[in-house]
Amino acid sequence: MPPNTGLRIARVHPLLLNHGSGLSAPLLAPLFATTHISQARKRLAPTQSNSSSQRRAASTASRVEEPKKETASPTISELASSPTRPTSPLTPSTTLNPPASTRPPPLELPTRDPTTSTFTYWFRFGKAYMSFYKTGLKAIFTNRSLLTQSATTTTRSDILLRERVHHDIFRVPTFGLLLLLCGELTPFVVLAFPHLTPYTCRIPKQIDALRRRAEARRTSSFSALQRVDTPSAKLHSSGLGSGHVCRSLGLTSTVWDKVGLDSPFSKSLAERAVSRLAADNALLQDGGGVEALVDEEVVLACEDRGFYVREKSVAELRGELRKWLRKAAPRKGGGHEEVRAEAEDKVRGLLLGLDGSDGEN
């Protein structure tokens, strides 16, 4: 086995190198131990000046080592899908939660001290925001590097990493230009154009403003849906149902709401969102459940499903997400396509509020 084999296997899933996971050392130790054993065998091989002795030693070494056929080490994806899940070095926290760098960094603003001058305070205030944005932009390229090193997208953490990198990387040019032009005024400008900002650069006030608008739009859409006298079976497949899913999840522009029409792409967007949520449900259920999610990812998972997350505790949201997953779970048995279709049908029903709720999950 070449000495750098351990390094190549470690790059298959770069998330394991995150120092916060605490998994890299136990996973890589057996790999490097194999390298050290090979090197030790070479040092212990007899060295004779006599050429015949050297040939005998070489032939003996070959006879000893040839029968030992090395077994290829399992890949990260094989370990993740192994039926003996409890013994896998990949914990649910690693496979379900994307890197913390895909979320906004902490924003530490200075406190107003009576002894501090106004100029000094606002200077530190602007400096704190610029440091926040600098860290957020740096995180985007860190995440992009992690994505390029990842060979597969078999776990939920891989999938979310890819989605967030794609979302952020296309907003870097516009946001970077905005940051250069506005400087310390950027925190005020982004409130007017919240969707231009990458995830990693969104300040708390901006996130709250986006959620407030999304929840108001969702409530309005539910009210309009309840005024329509349409059987539930038809609502599942109708354009009205697709339009509501898009409005509820913020998949289309609010311009369509103002003109009283649904986007012509509502059906395809709604189908894609329902399919994605059904797949995410399965990953969560099979990968360790809601308990394995960190607090920030619980909130984001609830937000993805159209929950009202503002002014709710994480513990409350965990309970609601757990209940939602139970309702969306398909029955046991049946073929793969049947199970998938049933799972998507249940997700669509939950998004349309057809589970007996009033629209609030």
Which tens digit of pLDDT belongs to each residue from 247-259?
999 999 999 999 9
Please indicate, yes or no, whether residues 230 and 142 belong to a single structural domain of this protein: no
Which of 148-152, 290-294, 314-318 has the least mean pLDDT?
148-152
Eight-class DSSP state of 90? S
Q: 237: which 2 tokens? A: 């497949």
Mean of pLDDT over the chain: 77
List Cα–Cα distances, 262 to 117, 270, 285, in angstroms.
53, 12, 33
Please indicate, yes or no, whether residues 257 and 193 belong to a single structural domain of this protein: no
Per-residue pLDDT at 1 exceeds 80: no
Please indicate, yes or no, whether residues 100 and 150 belong to a single structural domain of this protein: yes
Please indicate, yes or no, whether residues 67 and 49 belong to a single structural domain of this protein: yes
Domain edge (last residue) among 56, 90, 124: 90
Please indicate, yes or no, whether residues 194 and 252 belong to a single structural domain of this protein: no
Per-residue pLDDT at 117 exceeds 70: yes
Give pLDDT, residue 64.
40
Per-residue pLDDT at 235 exceeds 60: yes
d(CA 259, CA 133): 36
Please indicate, yes or no, whether residues 277 and 293 belong to a single structural domain of this protein: yes
Domain edge (last residue) among 148, 178, 202: 202
Please indicate, yes or no, whether residues 183 and 154 belong to a single structural domain of this protein: yes
Per-residue pLDDT at 344 exceeds 90: yes
Which tens digit of pLDDT belongs to each residue from 41-62?
444 444 444 444 444 443 443 3
Give pLDDT, residue 122.
87
- High-pLDDT (> 70) share of the chain, %: 70
Please indicate, yes or no, whether residues 297 and 208 belong to a single structural domain of this protein: yes
Structural domain boundaries, residue 19? 5-90
Please indicate, yes or no, whether residues 231 and 353 belong to a single structural domain of this protein: yes
Per-residue pLDDT at 202 exceeds 80: yes
Domain edge (last residue) among 202, 220, 250: 202
Helix residue spans in 185-334 (DSSP H): 186-189, 204-226, 232-237, 239-249, 255-258, 266-287, 295-304, 314-328
Tally of domains within the chain = 3
Q: Which amino acid is at 111?
A: T
Q: Is residue 159 very low, low, confident or very high in pLDDT (cuts 50, 70, 90)? A: very high
Please indicate, yes or no, whether residues 179 and 310 belong to a single structural domain of this protein: no
Per-residue pLDDT at 193 exceeds 70: yes
Please indicate, yes or no, whether residues 186 and 253 belong to a single structural domain of this protein: no
List Cα–Cα distances, 311 to 94, 205, 219, 317, in angstroms.
28, 14, 16, 10
